Amino acid sequence: MTKKQRTAEAVNRLKEKYPDALCSLQYADPFQLLVAVRLSAQCTDARVNLVTPALFERFPTMQAFAAATPEEVEPYIHSCGFFRAKAKDIVNAAKTLLTEYGGVLPKTVDELCKLPGVGRKTANLLCGDIYGQGGVVVADTHCIRISGRLGLADSKDPFKVEMQLRKLLPPEESNDFCHRLVLFGREICDARTPRCAQCPLSDICPRVGVKSN
């Protein structure tokens, strides 16, 4: 089985298992998603979802964040870790969007990466979830680990994995596939104790074949 064939099988099987390929972060508009993804760096999505209701009630719009100081934002996001850097990035991103982009998120990864605190993970996720483009969100341990186990990528560097997956994934499937890898990694393909006996991909997984030899 070629990489292309294995990729197609993985896309179809995970689509069947996880038909609702939704981002687990909760948000009401594109800028709130940007904020939530920034907060999720080295923090769980579950923790971010506990923090953002009060944060977005206090700062309900991009304009409200832009008018705030980082010090005003910090108490609301303290439990997410690295709160000072995150607060500064969020405030500055709001100001940059309002002054340079008319308050509208850019539609390309390269332009989004010009915003404070926005890397390729955030940019790809925004392009995929907001604009329906072929985002490949790989700055996640689940995505990188499972892509390697399936033989779809041979690096732990997020950018290299992204470029390798872009060659294999149909653009219309890539964003949802990356969301499904997160769900799959949490439920079955665990880092330490993968549940291979329950895995819908076990017969096409090179790792399982090696273990059984």
The total of other beta-carbon atoms located within 10 Å of residue 186's CB is 12
The total of other beta-carbon atoms located within 10 Å of residue 105's CB is 22
The distance of Cα 187 from the centroid of its chain, to the nearest Å, equals 17
Specify whether 140 is catalytic.
yes
96 or 136, higher pLDDT: 96
Distance CA 105, CA 107 (A): 6
Cβ–Cβ < 8 Å for 86, 41: yes
The total of other beta-carbon atoms located within 10 Å of residue 179's CB is 23
Max avg pLDDT among 62-66, 119-123, 172-176: 62-66
Q: Quote the percentage of the chain above a pLDDT of 70.
A: 97
Specify whether 121 is catalytic.
yes
For 13-27, what is the mean pLDDT? 90
For 164-180, what is the mean pLDDT? 91
Q: Tell me which of 86, 121, 129, 176 is the catalytic residue.
A: 121
Mean pLDDT of the chain: 92
Cβ–Cβ < 8 Å for 82, 42: yes
For 17-46, what is the mean pLDDT? 92
Q: What φ, ψ does residue 135 adopt, rounded to 5°?
A: -70, 145
Query: Would the pLDDT of 24 be above 80?
Result: yes
The total of other beta-carbon atoms located within 10 Å of residue 150's CB is 20
Q: Tell me which of 86, 89, 129, 140 is the catalytic residue.
A: 140
Of the pLDDT bands very low, low, confident and very high (cuts 50, 70, 90), residue 137 is confident
Query: Would the pLDDT of 141 be above 90?
Result: no
| Residue 184 in tokens | 């799959």
Angle, vertex CA 76, rays to CA 71 and CA 77, nearest 5: 90
Distance CA 74, CA 77 (A): 5
Exposure of 143 in the CB half-sphere (CA atoms within 13 A): 21
pLDDT at 136: 85
Distance CA 29, CA 109 (A): 18
Of the pLDDT bands very low, low, confident and very high (cuts 50, 70, 90), residue 213 is very low
Residues 6+ apart with CB under 8 A from 55: 35, 73, 76, 77
